[in-house]
Amino acid sequence: MLPMTVFRRFLRLPLLLLLIFVGVNPGGTAALAQKAEAIPPPPQIPVRAYVLMDYQSGNLLASMKGDERMEPASITKLMTAYVIYKALKSGKINLDDQVTISEKAWRTQGSKMFIRIGSQVSVEDLLMGMVVQSGNDATVALAEHVAGSEETFAKLMNQEAERLGLKNSHFINAPGMPDPNHYMSARDIALLARSIIQDFPEHYPRYSVRSFKYNNIEQQNRNRLLLTDSTVDGVKTGHTESAGYCLVSSAKRNDTRLIAVVLGTEKEKERFQASQALLNYGFSFFESRKLYDASTPIVTTRIWKGQENELPLGVAQPLHVTVAKGQAPQVNTTTTVQPTIVAPAQKDQPFGEIVVKLGDQEVSKTPLVALKEVPESGWFGRMIDSILMFFYSLFS
């Protein structure tokens, strides 16, 4: 006589036909959708390149030469900081580490924290000097502390750029000194700023600090938007004669956060005016909506030859969409699942996708991943499921 578990599996057979979950529409039907007003073009600003990105979804709301490689100047220090934050998180270095200042760090040209050669300065203070004062000397000292030399540290920067998918970025030095082979694009800068906010929220508050005092010298944060717009809480300025004046800024109003990048203005005040214009444009005409939470089952499907029969699927990160104000009711999603899933299944392993559409226009595709691990069952369970799969293939 067959075990009771086998009969239960046969009884479940009709349910196995539900392998595709279609038509989730969190905003209502298209017939009831409100028609959004026409969106005006983005403001005309005197820059070489710019992008405006929604933080939650990563969607670009406006762009001009967003993928063109340009000199980033001190905005480079965002990647320097990313590598340092990663070293802190792994325990390779600590905030209270005392760093001995080398002659190279002390002699580094450009903006300075005014650290003295041979002195010992904590990683915490050096980070503040790099982030708030944009100190090139502090930046080189941190690079040497993490990697032994600035040249080796630059290799770490390039490795992280590749891992983060920054396709138009390459680094030669840590502070952002001019070099023909040292470049970033406006889109890459926005993606990097987004990654810092997302991956290291415990370190992001440094970018809103308005001044920092070291060695009896107090210096102001060069990001003037921190003083003129209370919703701005970062991120970084940059300037050289060849790069012009640059700024990546981020602001949060209600539940929406935007990131603006402007590169290459001729006058210092123009980078702030251009950034403010982009942020105001984005907040006026767009909104971000969360469709699904991370690690929450969206659909449960059959898994064969596993220690469990069901596999919950969802998204690894919260899924947001950015649309013009008034268009949210037109958003719909279609969720598809791989027809046959056989154990073992690893957590976060993709088994389908969610396609987000605005009306008939595709907005994004996101992997539908396993929310738990399902190991392979024993030989008897695998044998029974092989028989069930055979009969299922006949009926399907």
CATH number at residue 115: 3.40.710.10
Q: Which domain holds residue 18?
A: 4-33+291-395
**Residue-level pLDDT at 396:** 67
User: Is the domain of 243 the same as that of 349?
Assistant: no
Report the sign of the C-alpha dihedral through residues 29, 35, 38, 42, in that order: negative
* Cβ–Cβ < 8 Å for 123, 99: yes
Active site residue 74: yes
Nearest Cα to 393, choosing from 22, 16, 21? Answer: 16
User: Which candidate in 57, 74, 111, 377 is catalytic?
Assistant: 74
Q: Tell me, yes or no, whether 277 lies in a domain.
A: no
Q: Tell me, yes or no, whether 44 lies in a domain.
A: no
**Residue-level pLDDT at 32:** 25
| Digit-coded pLDDT (tens) for 58-91 | 999 999 999 999 999 999 999 999 999 999 999 9
**Residue-level pLDDT at 388:** 85
Q: Tell me, yes or no, whether 279 lies in a domain.
A: no
User: Is the domain of 259 the same as that of 385?
Assistant: no
User: Is the domain of 249 the same as that of 346?
Assistant: no
Q: Tell me, yes or no, whether 282 lies in a domain.
A: no
User: Is the domain of 240 the same as that of 325?
Assistant: no
**Residue-level pLDDT at 6:** 39
Render each residue's pLDDT in the chain as its tens digit; 396 residues.
444 443 344 434 333 333 333 333 333 322 223 344 578 999 999 999 999 999 999 999 999 999 999 999 999 999 999 999 999 999 999 999 999 999 999 999 999 999 999 999 999 999 999 999 999 999 999 999 999 999 999 999 999 999 999 999 999 999 999 999 999 999 999 999 999 999 999 999 999 999 999 989 999 999 999 999 999 999 999 999 999 999 999 999 988 999 999 999 999 999 999 999 999 999 999 998 899 999 899 999 999 899 999 999 999 999 999 989 988 889 999 999 999 999 999 999 999 999 999 888 898 899 999 999 999 999 988 888 788 888 787 776
User: Is the domain of 73 the same as that of 22?
Assistant: no
User: Is the domain of 23 the same as that of 97?
Assistant: no
User: Is the domain of 296 the same as that of 348?
Assistant: yes
Q: Tell me, yes or no, whether 244 lies in a domain.
A: yes
**Residue-level pLDDT at 392:** 80
Q: What is the domain-level CATH number for residue 305? A: 2.60.410.10
User: Is the domain of 249 the same as that of 356?
Assistant: no
Q: Tell me, yes or no, whether 43 lies in a domain.
A: no
Q: Tell me, yes or no, whether 166 lies in a domain.
A: yes
User: Is the domain of 85 the same as that of 180?
Assistant: yes
User: Is the domain of 334 the same as that of 388?
Assistant: yes
**Domains contained in the chain, number:** 2
Active site residue 111: no
What is the H or E stretch that residue 314 is in? strand 310-314
Residue 58 has what DSSP assignment? -
Q: Tell me, yes or no, whether 285 lies in a domain.
A: no
Which amino acid, 77? K
* Cβ–Cβ < 8 Å for 320, 377: no
Q: CA-CA distance, 290 to 285, in Å (whole number)?
A: 17
- Angle, helices 77-90/186-199, rounded to nearest 10 degrees: 30
User: Is the domain of 62 the same as that of 14?
Assistant: no
User: Is the domain of 178 the same as that of 299?
Assistant: no
**Residue-level pLDDT at 33:** 30
User: Which candidate in 57, 134, 275, 377 is catalytic?
Assistant: 134
Q: CA-CA distance, 72 to 244, in Å (whole number)?
A: 9
* Cβ–Cβ < 8 Å for 48, 368: no
Report the sign of the C-alpha dihedral through residues 275, 278, 280, 286, in that order: negative
Active site residue 208: no
Give the contacts of 301 (CB within 8 A, at least 6 positions apart): 18, 19, 310, 311, 313, 337, 341, 351
